[in-house]
Structure 1
């Protein structure tokens, strides 16, 4: 700042001058810029030709970038700027280090050659009449064929058998459709095995062909074939009797849920809910072919697929905390439900009356939605008293529609009355979470449970 009063100073005479702070700063900036090099205004690239879409001279319009700053220009003897061009040799470019590999537990890349094989583990592959285990037994005093008439279900009270055939957690179980004399189970150790429910209750066959955890399995309408979906990105179609892999399908993403079309006329088609938010539809008559239909409206990985309305429609739920209803074969949803209070619906079970679907909600309750035209939630029905947060725990409705069963993260199996929503019974079934529960389709009180220890227990 100049001195406050006029008078002599060591370098001469200073006149008194009144300057505001802003005026002084502006004058100082002007003096500095006058001494230094002139400032250059950055130029934009050319807008380009509107007839060129891509490549040199393509149209950029108002989105044209600023020209990149060039190295300082060198002046020749006459003072003109000389542009210096730099040429980079291939050896001068430093090689970038490879990205670190992810942990094995979260690596979704395909591994191994995916070759399939099967092993028969039972005592005898055929009986004295040459029949395999697919033959429905007739010597049990229980009718395992024909129409189900006047079946009344009760909650089980005691454990009657244990299967210990897996080294890791049980992920899903399915009874053979209609008869229920065989039990198919998938595990996180990458194997699928089938068990005899009657007679010696032995392990009959193993199906080996996946390199990572098998997340879901599903029989076709008559049980002669089944599908397996794994974290190795593969979906495989197996012959239940021989163990032969007859079809391989993949989109390059992880299938979380897989369902055959229950209609016998369309039994060659199936749906798969994927980790990339899509639902894809395949035709098994062309093994290894691409999807024939996509349903791409979800905003998160798909968790459940449930057929309804005589298999003409299906309901899907996702980690995006929504529920969507679809016409089978049409890729646009006919109903979309996403309320602020909703949690992800991770497992489902249709009611035998065809009018409702029970969903395992991630907030420690089971909720019910109508599977008719409106697809509304039934606010009067809610099943509570168990813990399931953090796990994809099964929910299962008894064949007569009177009881609801569910696993529990504390190792329990819980049973509720469908009409009153009151908990009937609670069984301590394991010292780890019970993640899979299935009712026998013919018996009055038979239930199979699977836990994180890889143990399957059979209850009566």
Structure 2
């Protein structure tokens, strides 16, 4: 009820105008203003709210607006509708159908359900729309994906038009690639000793016999750090001791270089091998140690002479090699296997540079290759969460293991007994599989207690088969007892993830570790 007193409503002074509203026991009197006119006149008043501020309108001139969550799918759908324009949104009949077909033609193919990765892989409802324009990469920036765009031909700008590079220029570039841009430098203090021998000579002036059979002495758990090798500027991706003697240590890094270090005497950097233009993924010695293979994300595999640093051969298939392994047998010592990103395992002959065999049954990138059964067979794992066993030179798997609970197995280590292979699984476990005819999982042997999810972390069995060691994403190094599967020891080795670990083949308590910080640490 409004009481205007003696003044008419259109002439009353502002100070005399009031509005009286009764709601329950509330007889509040407020100024007769524009806010009061817009007040909702129903329900009881809120006693905890200021009367004046409650009369104000909400946050926009036309009403009240609230924040809401809009999914990416809904936003893209509405965005595409707006991009079509008002004259296209409400098209009817054949015009609307044509417009819908044009939109669908820009979408990626859904693929086949039987393909897990690569060309034609199943994407289903997650198929993307093709972009008309792509951002130009800044000079020196690398592509984020493994599968980079292949540059088929160079182009030059002449009079405002793009012209293909001359055939002569392409020929010169191909010749330069064949010749290679490999470089090496000896960085030790002395290249030859007093008898003219290089670092390839196994030292005999030590208090340890480096010629004995690896694993012939009992191993112990290391307790303290005895040395640090610093030379790599980025993450170390692989560590390999020289076969049998272990007097040299080979390391590969994402800084595109390979280095070889002295394990005894001065423990210095001996030689640097440079020839790749992208990060290294793996290295592998041949059985005698005179040569080694390197695999890189530049899609190339190179064979190096360990002593001189000369690049002997180059191999490539067009895909990225993830793992390379020489055949340890004497009969096939001139052949090696490479697990590729395109799901294939290829077998090369280092003498002819020819592809001898191809094993193509995995559904995703290959992670590990392990020779078993006196090198007559080998076992492989892949990102397709499976394990396969093969007879050497026969491209049909003899065993296929893929269980619903399995995770990708990223690293492997053969047990010295030859009966088992330990696999680093991506669910923070180490599983053991038989390496004989049945290739079954040994469910009694599971090693737990470390974290490795998200990283490819090495697992390594001690030369006498008594211990299993692994790195950790938190910077630890963990040791388990092989028989009881209980964790024996665990110590902090780095502030970042430890991804590489290798037991010394001769010394009974020496272990080399490396990881994301680029430093190689030696433990005893």
TM-score, shorter chain, exceeding 0.5: yes
Aligned to 1:434: 498
Change (3 A) 1:109 1:240: farther
Match of 1:104 among 137, 142, 155: 142
Change (3 A) 1:101 1:358: farther
Task: Give the superposition deviation at 1:150.
Answer: 3.7
Which one scores higher on RCO, CA 8 angstroms, separation ≥ 6? Answer: 1
| Structure 1 residues not aligned, in runs of 5+ | 1-38, 40-95
SS of residue in 2 equivalent to 1:292: strand
- TM-score w.r.t. the length of structure 2 is 0.68
SS of residue in 2 equivalent to 1:127: coil
2:413 pairs with 1:349:
yes
1: CA distance, partners of 2:211 / 2:217: 13
2:255 pairs with 1:189:
yes
1: CA distance, partners of 2:215 / 2:235: 36
Aligned to 1:453: 517
Task: Give the superposition deviation at 1:146.
Answer: 3.5
Q: Is the 8 A contact 2:260 2:272 kept in 1?
A: yes
Q: Is the 8 A contact 1:110 1:232 kept in 2?
A: no
2: CA distance, partners of 1:240 / 1:101: 40
Q: State the number of aligned residues.
A: 364
Aligned to 1:392: 456
Match of 1:251 among 302, 317, 325: 317
Deviates more, 1:142-151 or 1:230-239: 142-151
Task: Give the superposition deviation at 1:286.
Answer: 1.1
* Structure-to-structure mapping, 1:258-407, within 5 angstroms: 258-287=324-353, 289=354, 291-407=355-471
Give per-residue Cα distances to partners, 1:42-66, cap 9 Å, x unaligned: xxxxxxxxxxxxxxxxxxxxxxxxx
Change (3 A) 1:264 1:101: farther
Aligned to 1:34: none
Q: CA RMSD in A?
A: 1.7
Task: Give the superposition deviation at 1:141.
Answer: 1.2
Match of 2:232 among 139, 146, 166: 166
Q: Is the 8 A contact 2:215 2:505 kept in 1?
A: no
SS of residue in 2 equivalent to 1:174: strand
Task: Give the superposition deviation at 1:100.
Answer: 4.0
Aligned to 2:193: 127
Q: Is the 8 A contact 2:215 2:464 kept in 1?
A: no
Task: Give the superposition deviation at 1:97.
Answer: 6.2
SS of residue in 2 equivalent to 1:401: coil
SS of residue in 1 equivalent to 2:371: strand
Give per-residue Cα distances to partners, 1:422-456, cap 9 Å, x unaligned: 00100100000000000000011000000101010
2: CA distance, partners of 1:241 / 1:329: 31
2: CA distance, partners of 1:220 / 1:149: 20
Change (3 A) 1:251 1:357: same
Task: Give the superposition deviation at 1:457.
Answer: 0.0
SS of residue in 2 equivalent to 1:352: coil
1: CA distance, partners of 2:310 / 2:388: 35
SS of residue in 2 equivalent to 1:375: coil
* Structure-to-structure mapping, 1:56-75, within 5 angstroms: none
Match of 1:220 among 282, 286, 303: 286
Task: Give the superposition deviation at 1:147.
Answer: 2.9
Q: Is the 8 A contact 1:110 1:233 kept in 2?
A: no
1: CA distance, partners of 2:408 / 2:501: 19
2: CA distance, partners of 1:150 / 1:315: 26
2: CA distance, partners of 1:387 / 1:301: 23
